[in-house]
Amino acid sequence: MSTGVDPQELPPGLALAWGLPTKTSGLGRPPSHSVEQVVEAAIDLADADGFAALSMPKLAKKLGLTANAIYRYVRSRDELLVLVAETGWGPAPDLPSGAAHWRTAATTWTQAMIDRCEVHPWLVDLPVRGAPMTPNLLRWTEVILECFIGAGLSPKEAIQCALLLDVYARRIADMRRDLRQSSADSVNPTAVQNFLLPLLREHGYPIVAALMVGDDYSDDIDDSDVTFGLTRILDGIEGLLPGSRHTTDPAG
């Protein structure tokens, strides 16, 4: 399929993400790998060593290619990042349909984002350079917009609410990853608590001290924490729905 647009005029990776051929460097022998194989190798690198591993030299080495040969497949690191994002996020989740199920659909969508970041923690490190433009990411957008518009929001309100859930999911995933990494250090939480409690009481932190004693001041974000925050967000969105919108009291 031809779009009539020169791929060279498009953002890096966009044409490839849609399965359209692009011109590469043309250096050396014919390609021995597919673009899909190159992207999968990049994802393997990132899964093993994090976002910093997504470099063209490291990818070339993993594939047994020369530094120049990698550019037969992707023209730049920016192009590579677009393709690994598209593959890393993968297909959008199936959401229940119908206005009555919008909260369940929004919850499923948000949890699916968090789950994808559990599989590929580096997803939260990928730079966001604009609105989604690739097939999988557009489908993620389409299904949540369909959910909100079906519930009665305007398209503008729907995209704003989708952005709110997107930011929440990414932030939760990012914090969970940071906490997992910090907990991997050899720290004795009981020793830390025993050290802090007398200092908290002495220097005027009674509320934090009480929470710590009750084990409510933890180094983890569990499912109940995620659900609590998401419920508050959905409660706010519900206030935008027809029949639930706040009206100004004429006497006020």
Which two tokens mark 62? 């993993």
What pTM was estimated for this model as a whole?
0.86
Helices (H), 31-154: 35-49, 56-63, 77-89, 102-119, 135-151
Domains and CATH numbers, the chain: 7-89 (1.10.10.60), 99-185+225-238 (no CATH)
Whether the CB-CB separation of 150 and 102 falls below 8 Å is answered with yes
Low-confidence ranges of the chain (pLDDT < 70): 1-4, 7, 21-31, 183-186, 245-252
Instruction: Report pLDDT for 29.
Output: 61
Instruction: Report pLDDT for 221.
Output: 85
Measured CA distances, 193 to 23, 179, 190, 206 (Å)? 60, 17, 5, 14
State pLDDT tens for residues 124-152: 999 988 899 999 999 999 999 999 999 99
Instruction: Report pLDDT for 251.
Output: 38
Instruction: Report pLDDT for 39.
Output: 97
Cα torsion through 12, 18, 24, 29, rounded to 10 = 140
Instruction: Report pLDDT for 8.
Output: 72
Instruction: Report pLDDT for 249.
Output: 35
